[in-house]
Each structure stands twice: as structure tokens, then as C-alpha cells.
Amino acid sequence: MPDAPAAPSTPSGSGGKSPSDRDAPSLLTGPSGKRIRDGFPTLINLPAVPGIAFWEKEVTPVGVDGGGPNDTTNMRNTAWRTRQPKKLRTADNVTVKAQYDPKVITDIVAQCNVNQQIEVVYPDTSKLTVWGWLNSFKPDALKEGEAPEATVEFVVSNQDSTGAEIAPSFTPPTT
């Protein structure tokens, strides 16, 4: 009976992997950056009104929406409808569930529809600054044993007070 062919040898210290396996990118490589492990505290700042009194309980920060596809299908397509991305993006609104001090409702009303900078400050101290306005302040029903709460919505305008287009701006953490 003939001998079985010898198994291919692997270099010492390779963990039994062939050179081509070692050179392939790993599917387990993690993303770069530092993961925030807790959303607490995420805060909203209005630099024009630093003393406005509401206490954030939940913050939904700015998102982005590409606006859907441009349909490029025509009568010369043969099997598939075709699409292309739009050129412009939309910054989604910021929403906040917050406790508030009823004494400052006048201040909150005064900020309604005032285009200004809005800062979302993340737990790692990084900051996303956008231009927009306080669009709505909707108090919840007041109940015994619960602090007054409201849902606050900020619309992102992407325009400063002169009307110039201003993209959202990210500031890295200070630590």
C-alpha cells in the first residue's frame, strides 16, 4: 500500500495557518475609535441662552437622511430599475425628553422659532453643533409624585443667522 501524501508544512509560529490565510484581512477587526458604553450624560446646550432650565432625561441626537433615490430607470434598461443617490442630505431633528422648571416657560416661549446654535454634548465630551430652532415644547400631563416633563423638538436649519449654509460641526472629546 502506498504512503499517503505528506501534509503541507506550515511555518513555525503561524498557528497552523498557511501564508495566504495569514495575509487575508480578518473579519473580526473592530472599528477604530472609542465606543461610548453609556449614553449618560448627553446634554443639550443653547449657547445664546446658557441658563435655560430644563434637565435632559432622554436625548435623540441629530441623524442624517439622504432623501431617498433618484429614479434613473428608462426605456433602455434591460432587466433592472436603476437609481442614484441624491446630492443633498437632510439633518434630522433633535428631540429631548426633559424635566423643566415652570418658572422658565416664558424663556422657552421666547426661544421658539429663534434660529441659533444648538449643541449636543455626548458623555465623552465630544460635541455636535448645528444651527436650528426650538420648534416645539410640549408638556406632559402633570401627576402627583412626578416632576413636570416635556418633549422638546429642535429643527435643524443648517443656516446661520445670515442665511449662509452651515453644515453640522463635530468637536472631538476634550479628554
pLDDT tens, residue by residue, 107-162: 899 999 999 999 999 999 999 999 999 999 999 999 999 999 999 999 999 999 99
For residue 27, being part of any structural domain is answered with no
For residue 31, being part of any structural domain is answered with no
The model's confidence at residue 1, banded by pLDDT at 50, 70 and 90, is low
Res. 87: pLDDT tops 60: yes
pLDDT at 109: 92
With vertex at residue 109, the alpha carbon angle to CA 105 and CA 110, rounded to the nearest 5 degrees, is 115
Q: What is the dihedral of CA 17, 21, 23, 29, to 10 degrees?
A: -100
Place of cell 439633518: 91
Query: How many distinct structural domains can be found in the chain?
Result: 1
Of residues 171 and 5, more confidently modeled: 171
pLDDT at 25: 59
Res. 4: pLDDT tops 60: no
Domain holding 96: CATH number? 2.30.110.20
For residue 57, being part of any structural domain is answered with yes
For residue 151, being part of any structural domain is answered with yes
Read off the pTM: 0.78
The model's confidence at residue 84, banded by pLDDT at 50, 70 and 90, is very high
For residue 33, being part of any structural domain is answered with no
Cα separation, 57 vs 99, in Å, equals 7
Q: Annotate 116-152 with three-state secondary structure.
A: EEEEEECCCCCEEEEEEEEEEEEECCCCCCCCCEEEE
Q: Annotate 80-119 with three-state secondary structure.
A: CCCEEECCCCEECCEEEEEEECHHHHHHHHHHECCCEEEE
For residue 15, being part of any structural domain is answered with no
For residue 99, being part of any structural domain is answered with yes
Q: Which domain holds residue 116?
A: 38-66+81-171
Place of cell 472609542: 34
Euclidean distance between the first and final Cα of the chain, in Å?
70
For residue 73, being part of any structural domain is answered with no
Peptide bond into 41 cis (omega under 30): yes
pLDDT at 12: 47
pLDDT in tens, 8-59: 444 444 455 555 555 555 677 888 878 889 999 999 999 998 878 789 999 9
Mean pLDDT of 59-77: 97
Position 28, amino acid = L
Cα separation, 45 vs 50, in Å, equals 7
Cα separation, 96 vs 84, in Å, equals 34
Cα separation, 11 vs 58, in Å, equals 55
pLDDT at 3: 54
